[in-house]
Amino acid sequence: MESLSNRKKVLEQKPMNFWERLYLPAIAQGMGITFRHMFKKKETVFYPEVEREFSENWRGMHSLKRDEQGRERCTACGLCALSCPAEAITMIAAERQKGEENLYREEKYAAVYEINMLRCIFCGLCEEACPKEAIYLDGPIVPADYLRKDFIYGKDKLVEEPLKAQ
Amino acid sequence: MELAFVIEKFVLITVIFSLSLVVAMYSTLAERKIAAFLQDRVGPNRAGWGGMFQPIADGAKLFFKEEIIPTDSSRFLFIVGPSLAILTACIGSAVIPWGQPMLIAGREINLQVTDINVGILYVFGIVSLGVYGIMIGGWASNNKFSLMGAIRAASQNISYEIPMGLSLIALLLVTNTLSLKEITEQQHGWHWNVLYQPLGFILFLVCSFAETNRTPFDLPECETELVGGYHTEYSSMKMGFYLFAEYINMFISSAVMTVLYFGGYNYPGMDLVNNILGPTWGPLIGVAVMFIKIFMFIFFFMWVRWTVPRFRYDQLMNLGWKILIPLAIANIVITGVWLTYVVK
């Protein structure tokens, strides 16, 4: 077939000469290359002691945010659960009682909020759907565990630490 | 036989036996470390300082693993296989001279377990026996992959023993003796045989790679084609014995190459050193030199493993029968002509 693009190159495969057929020079050359690698900088990151830096847009474990006064931002609207393609998020809403204004920002809050980390695909759609900027995937890698039930993370693991009294 | 002689030999055998086991043990660590360095990695470094206790941890792991003997296997032969492999690997070191005679408390002690006058033939006999361990193990497993590995091991070892023996004949033309002790003594100072037999040395080296089943000739256990080769069905310490035997074989064949071609314990300026240090400590330097040479060879084995890719089976046979054997014969002819007309 004729080449239409004119980029076709026919490579001529020459028979090997004596030096090449000897094979030993090629081996010596290769061994030189491998030997040089002995002294190169090692790429290893010593994991438990040293952690590799995550990139800017890394999506890790979820955290439920608090506002400037340390109140939970989540209002249990359920948009995150709706947007979740993996059906990983469930919640039970509750109404804020008198005297709880310092705990919850909105009048409705999530009494139970659970994410199944085995279902979660870390796509970040919950983050995008949230109108209250209450959920972000800014945590570390979700650790391994032994039982399936232990992968269902509740509010105890998801909600941010309360603000330190200043 | 006097008592002192028995004690001397007993101590020597114990020392050499445990030494070859320790060297084989730490070869496993060295292999992993060198592999890592050649690939810009760090290698095992958790157990002990820089991974010093890794071989012990590996050994302990192998001991505590469940031992599985397949129901369809031939039980007796299944156990004989690895035993034979490790047995033949361990007895090969008996004729290797580790150093000059040492003077301890007015008694001259030979640093060689036994000096039999056909020493090199003994080594060859043992090395040829080594393949039986692999063959029996592969056959007894009753598994097609094991059997393929065993068949490959057998045909490879038989093929490469021929050029190995032929290259040795050229060496024997030069040395005129089969005793490893005398061969070493002839290479006093820098008169190493590799200077007189460069081609023979290269042939011997290539063949010893094949005899120890190391890459690029590790077809008997090539994991991309044969799962694990002859030790597919093995587990626990039987598997450990096979791996261990490979490393001991590597140590022994390094020692044999050192003795035959690289002067054994000889090094330039050894007379001077011996005069200064005396007959007790002087030979120890020779032993150290011998071990440095051996370790260099072991490093070379590993270096090649991580550089040269595995041969295809037909390429292996082509190299053995069509290239190495004619070269070895040519080497004998050249050596013969040279000795007859040039040296006299």
Tens digits of per-residue pLDDT, B17-74?
Answer: 888 888 888 888 988 888 888 888 888 888 888 888 888 888 888 888 888 888 888 8
Question: Which residues from B are below 8 Å from A25, CB to CB?
Answer: none
Backbone phi, then psi, for A111, in 5-degree steps? -75, -40
Residue A81: C-alpha distances to residues A36, A121, A139, B330 (Å)? 55, 13, 19, 81
Which one of A18, A38, A40, A49 would you mutate to disrupt binding with B, by most B Cβ within 10 Å of its Cβ?
A38
* The dihedral sign for the CA sequence B152, B157, B162, B168: positive
Nearest to B303 among A31, A40, A42 (CB): A31
Backbone phi, then psi, for B159, in 5-degree steps? -65, -40
Query: What residues of chain B have any CB closer than 8 angstroms to a CB in chain A?
Result: 34, 37-42, 202, 303-304, 306-308
Q: What are the residue boundaries of the structural domains of chain A, listed by start?
A: 63-158
Nearest to A31 among B40, B41, B307 (CB): B307
In the prediction, which pLDDT does A85 show? 92
Q: Look at residue A14 and tell me whether its pLDDT is greater than 80.
A: yes
Closest chain A CA to residue B300: A31
Question: Which residues from B are below 8 Å from A44, CB to CB?
Answer: 41-42
What tokens appear for B124 in the block? 């060859």
Architecture of domain A63-158: 2-Layer Sandwich (3.30)
Instruction: Kindly determine whether residue B38 and residue A34, on different chains, have CB atoms separated by under 8 Å.
Output: yes
In the prediction, which pLDDT does B1 show? 62
**Residue for token digits 């100072």?**
B189
In the prediction, which pLDDT does A151 show? 92
Q: How far apart (Å, rounded) are the C-alpha atoms in residues B27 and B248?
A: 9
Q: What are the residue boundaries of the structural domains of chain B, listed by start?
A: 61-343
Instruction: Kindly determine whether residue A31 and residue B39, on different chains, have CB atoms separated by under 8 Å.
Output: no
Q: Are B89 and B248 in contact (CB under 8 A)?
A: yes
Q: What is the pTM of this model?
A: 0.79
Average pLDDT over residues B314-340: 88
Which helix (H) or strand (E) element contains residue B242?
helix B236-261
Instruction: Kindly determine whether residue B202 and residue A24, on different chains, have CB atoms separated by under 8 Å.
Output: yes
Closest chain B CA to residue A34: B38
Instruction: Kindly determine whether residue B37 and residue A41, on different chains, have CB atoms separated by under 8 Å.
Output: no
Instruction: Kindly determine whether residue B308 and residue A27, on different chains, have CB atoms separated by under 8 Å.
Output: yes
**B329 confidence band (pLDDT: 50, 70, 90):** very high
Instruction: Kindly determine whether residue A41 and residue B40, on different chains, have CB atoms separated by under 8 Å.
Output: yes
Q: What is the pLDDT of residues A62-120, one digit of tens each?
A: 999 988 888 888 998 989 999 999 999 999 999 988 888 888 888 898 999 999 999 99
Instruction: Kindly determine whether residue A42 and residue B303, on different chains, have CB atoms separated by under 8 Å.
Output: no
Complex prediction ipTM: 0.72
